[in-house]
Amino acid sequence: NDTDTWTVNIGTPPQTVYAQIDTGSFELWVNPDCSNVASSDRRFCQAIGSYNPRSSSSAATTDESAMLRYGIGSANVSYFKDTIALSGAPAMKQVQFGVASASVDEFSGILGIGAGEGVNTDYPNFIDALAAQGVTKTKAFSLALGSKAEEEGVIIFGGVDTAKFQGKLATLPIVPAKESPDGVARYWVRMNSIALSPPQGKATTFSQTDMTVFLDSGSTLTLLPEQVVEEIATGLGSSGMDSTGYYAINCNLASQKGTIDFAFDGVTISVPYSEVIRQVSSSPPQCYLGMMGSTEFALLGDTFLRSAYAVFDLTGNSIHLAQYANCGTKVLTITPDSALQGLSSSCGGGS
């Protein structure tokens, strides 16, 4: 499955469930309805575990409920408070989250790690609780989804891994909600341009690619204006969009050394063809561009994030971005005094 999930231990004694890491939403909820998902996702859904508040001595209901809506799917949840523990970290007490009574097109629960209380929620969300209960020293976390070949990534709440990126971190201010395309406080940043760098020949920079985008680990695909996606697909030799809205791409391109380059102030993230081309299991194999056109807003999903290392810093109101690399592990704690801007990679002898 393409989703990126995190183990969450809830209750006393702990009940283990898996939830999708989603930087594009703001609430934690569990217990999806596996009968309302595509048949191809049902087995995965049934394997992620479930939470029963009656089996936890520390569970408490809030007597509140909500309908949570996503780009795809929705969930009706009742809110509970209970103990939540992450691997290797102290347990947090009385953390609020949702337990689904029904859901549609959601094959796992969701760990929304956007801005919470006073911004998008009226209660302390997961990120708020980590800082308030002293598990982290700031409302910050770092995310490396890892390449498709690696099949695993790492998220560090309250820390940064200098062995997971190249060069230095570039600091991008988070665009305020009132200045964003949809008026919602998300991880919005300004992007300067997108270019196509083929294995041979000159790079082509696409017009009208200076825009505000948000980083969304909950989206498998990258969404950009329709004209931009069409131009990128054409540059990759696609003959056009099919009836499902995808652009067919020659699978042989995935083995070539070309990149799609996303430029920001201070850093360019080069996404290899192999990461942005998605292969569908069929005979013969079929491949598609991992982007779709959008008329609402632009987001950089997993087909971008697998080539990036990002530190999401709500305390500092910034995102720190670099090209993804993997030369081991060297974790530093993020504190209010941490100098993340210009922090150097430990790969290749840096410090």
Domain borders along the chain are 5-135, 159-349
Please give the CATH topology (third level) of the domain spanning 159-349. Cathepsin D, subunit A; domain 1 (2.40.70)
Q: Give the model's confidence band at 3: pLDDT under 50 very low, under 70 low, under 90 confident, else very high.
A: low
Do 159-349 and 5-135 have the same topology in CATH? yes
Residue 206 has pLDDT above 90, yes or no: yes
Distances (CA, A) of 252 to 176, 220, 277, 287: 41, 22, 10, 9
Percent with pLDDT over 90 in the chain: 82
Catalytic positions: 22, 216
> Which class is 5-135 in CATH?
mainly beta
In tens, the pLDDT along 103-145 reads 998 889 999 999 999 999 999 999 999 999 999 999 999 999 9
Distances (CA, A) of 11 to 127, 204, 272: 18, 53, 42
In tens, the pLDDT along 47-105 reads 889 999 999 999 999 999 999 999 889 999 999 999 999 877 889 999 999 999 999 98
pTM for this predicted structure = 0.94
Assess contact for 52 and 15: CB atoms under 8 A. yes
The two counts, helices (H) then strands (E), for the chain are 5, 26
In tens, the pLDDT along 291-318 reads 999 999 999 999 999 999 999 999 999 9
